[in-house]
Amino acid sequence: MAAYSATQPLRLLKFERRALGPKDVAIQLHYCGICHSDIHHGREHWRQEPFPLVPGHELAGVVVAVGSSASRFKVGDRVGVGCMVNSCRHCSMCNVGLEQYCENGATFTYGSKDRDGTLTQGGYSTLNVVDEDFVIRVPDAIDLADAGPLMCAGITVYSPLRRWSVGPGKRVGVVGLGGLGHMAVKIAKAMGAEVTVLTTSPDKVADALRFGARDVIVNPDSADLSRHKRSLDFILDTAPYKHKLDRLFTLLKQDATFCMVGAGKVSEPYEIGPFSLLAARNSYASSQIGGIRETQELVDFCALHGIRPETSRIAMNEISAAWDRVVDKKARYRYVVDMKA
């Protein structure tokens, strides 16, 4: 299913994947999660897109063919693919497993120029051909239908939670209880932290507590936050559109970091007041997905701790309607396209 413009519903696109290269694996896709980034791309919130564009970067499926020199996977293996399908492999970032920050530009799963010059197309499709170095193994404990959302939503929150040393004794704020946010609550909880959810949806309070939050703040744009002032060691903000940040910074303890992983419209930049961070020497940070090694680590962490996304399965022809529901904050909490439905 492809976006043909920023305003029309998605429609079918027939196209061919590249021939299997020596290090490629061909993956029959069973499921693909719907990330809000798919909508940002499809509706041109970030840039002009190379339509027709097949979105989807939370792929889960089964290996159906392996290239002549591919050695990591065999036919029948259960695998996933996230936001990246290649990178330069020799820059300082690639060398330390941070391919998402490749100095020569990572190749993203869709809408990206592949190493052979062709345009990549994503996971709202039935088959993909991917270099095995960018394929993630799905452990037996994880159902394939749950694997896709780990490949983007899961790793995008896991990486900053690790980087800013979230663990026992730490108090973490999660802004936005959506696809990323609900995974952040579960993962931070499993890391041993105490989680406070900040949500604009009063009807998500019970779910937030069920996912492991200790505390919930409803409508942070207008709520009285004085009770929570300087109470958090780290805040992870997953909200996808412009919202008030200065109020959120008052929740940070001295020297604590606020990390933005939500990425809104480029036409509506966030505002940060001149005094909002200096009052407690706070830092404003950001983070982009995670490297391949760390993505495998996250998937294994979820298998070990029994962490799964909350999903609703839909058919290919329901994707456009699901996009609208995601924007309306009605997803609970990740739509997953079932290719067989």
Given the rule CB under 5 A, which of 35-43, 201-209, 220-228, 238-246 is the region that contacts Zn ion?
A: 35-43
In 9-81, which residue ranges form alpha helices assigned H by DSSP?
36-42
Instruction: Please list every residue from 275 through 334 that binds Zn ion, using CB under 5 A.
Output: none
Which option in Zn ion, ligand NAP, none does residue 91 bind, with CB closer than 5 to 8 A by kind?
Zn ion
**How far is 224 from 208, CA to CA, in rounded Å?**
19
Q: What minimum distance in Å lies between the beta carbon of 70 and ligand NAP? A: 27
The tokens describing 287, both together, are 């983070």
Half-sphere exposure of 29 (CA within 13 A, CB side): 27
Q: What minimum distance in Å lies between the beta carbon of 92 and Zn ion? A: 8
The tokens describing 199, both together, are 């949500």
Number of residues that bind ligand NAP (CB under 6 A): 31
How many residues in total does the chain contain? 341
Instruction: Please list every residue from 172 through 191 that binds ligand NAP, using CB under 6 A.
Output: 176-181
By CB under 5 A, is residue 32 in contact with Zn ion? no
By CB under 5 A, is residue 87 in contact with Zn ion? yes
**Choice from 6, 64, 65, 91 touching Zn ion (CB under 5 A):** 91
Residue 194: closest CA among 177, 171, 178: 171
H-run or E-run covering 313: strand 311-314
Nearer to ligand NAP, 18 or 247 (CB): 247
Residue 80: closest CA among 12, 149, 13: 149
By CB under 5 A, is residue 13 in contact with Zn ion? no
Nearer to ligand NAP, 36 or 189 (CB): 36
Inter-residue contact 251 to 228 (CB < 8 Å): yes
Contacting residues toward Zn ion, per CB under 5 A: 35, 37, 87-88, 91, 94, 102, 104, 152
